[in-house]
Amino acid sequence: MTAPLLRCRGVTRRFGGLVALDALDIDVEPGSVMGLIGPNGSGKTTFFNVLTGLFPASAGEIRFGGAPITGLEPQAVYRIGIARTFQRSRLCLPLSIFDNLMIGNHRHLDHGLWFNLVDRKALRRAVEENFAAARELLRIFDPPLADRLLDPAGRIPMIDRRRVEVCRALISRPKLLLLDEPSAGMTHDETMRLMDDILNVQRRLDLTIILIEHEMSVIERITRRCVVLNYGRKIAEGTYAEVSRDPSVRQAYLGLE
C-alpha cells in the first residue's frame, strides 16, 4: 500500500479546560480528496490551524511525507508544501489579482535588495515569468479571469474571489491543499462550478486535498473518503455513503434520530 502523505496520531489541542481536538488519528493518501465534516465547533478548523502551525498541538504527532512536522512554525509548514484557504475571504481587495497571487508565492520570490533595486533586467524577467505562471493557473479555473490579472480583486464577483484564493494557495505548488469551506458566500450553482474547477486542477496537478464543507452535496460529489468529527473526536470514517448512514453521524451532524 502507498504510504500516507499525511499521518496524524493522537493529535490533541486544548484551550484551557476545553479539548478542541481529542486524540485524533487521520491518514491522508497522496492524490486523494478527503472530506472533513461535522457540526459547528467540532474541531475541523482547529485541525487545520494545528496542522499549519497556527496553534501548537498539546499532544500527538503529525508526519508529512514521512517526516515529523509537529510544532513547526507556519512559515516552515508552508515551505514543506502545505497550503490552505480560509472560510472568510483573506484577499487584499485594493490590490490586483496578480499581487494577491504573488502574496502566496513569496517562497519562490527573490526578496534581496540588490535584485529588486539594481538588477532590473532580472527583476523584469522574474515578473514576466510569474505573470505567465499566474495567468496559466487562473486559466485552468476560468479563462476570462486569467485576462484580468491587473484588475483590483475588489472588482470581481465572489466566485472569482474564491478562485483567486484557491490559486493563491496553489501558486506555491504545494503537495497538500487545505480548503476551509470554499463554498461560503456563494450560490449553489456557483459552488458546483467551483467544485468542477477544483476537481479539474486536482487531477491536472496531482494534488492531495482535505476539504472542510457544510454543503453535503459537495462532499458526496468530490470526496473519496470522509472523516467526521464531533466535540474534537473522530466518530466515523469512510465514503460519504457509509458515514451518512452511521447513526452517530446522523444524530450529531444531521440532527436525525
Within this chain, do residues 193 and 229 fall inside the same structural domain, yes or no?
yes
Within this chain, do residues 181 and 74 fall inside the same structural domain, yes or no?
yes
Give which of 156, 54, 35, 154 is closest to 146, Cα–Cα: 156
In-domain check, residue 91 = no
Within this chain, do residues 75 and 180 fall inside the same structural domain, yes or no?
yes
**CA–CA separation, 38 and 214 (whole Å):** 8
pTM for the full predicted model: 0.90
Within this chain, do residues 76 and 189 fall inside the same structural domain, yes or no?
yes
Mean pLDDT confidence for 94-115: 77
Within this chain, do residues 101 and 213 fall inside the same structural domain, yes or no?
no
Residue with cell 436525525: 256
Of 168, 188, 209, the domain-final residue: 168
First CA to last CA distance, the chain: 37
**CA–CA separation, 85 and 211 (whole Å):** 10
Of 133, 168, 203, the domain-final residue: 168
Mean pLDDT confidence for 218-234: 92
Within this chain, do residues 135 and 254 fall inside the same structural domain, yes or no?
no
In the predicted model, what is the mean pLDDT of the chain? Answer: 89
- 124 vs 143, more confident: 143
What is the identity of the amino acid at 92?
A: C
| pLDDT at 124 (0 to 100) | 78
Find the domain containing 56 and state its range: 1-81+174-257
| pLDDT at 92 (0 to 100) | 92
Q: Is residue 197 pLDDT above 70, yes or no? A: yes
| pLDDT at 118 (0 to 100) | 58
Residue with cell 472533513: 36
Residues present in the chain in total: 257
In-domain check, residue 88 = no
Q: Show the cell assigned to 144.
A: 476570462
| pLDDT at 214 (0 to 100) | 85
Of 144, 168, 192, the domain-final residue: 168
pLDDT of 26-70, one tens digit each?
Answer: 999 999 999 999 988 899 999 999 999 999 999 999 999 999 999
Total domains present in the chain: 2
**CA–CA separation, 223 and 218 (whole Å):** 8
Mean pLDDT confidence for 81-100: 92
Within this chain, do residues 190 and 235 fall inside the same structural domain, yes or no?
yes
Q: How confident is the model at residue 135 (pLDDT cuts 50, 70, 90)?
A: very high
80 and 174 Cβ atoms separated by less than 8 Å: no
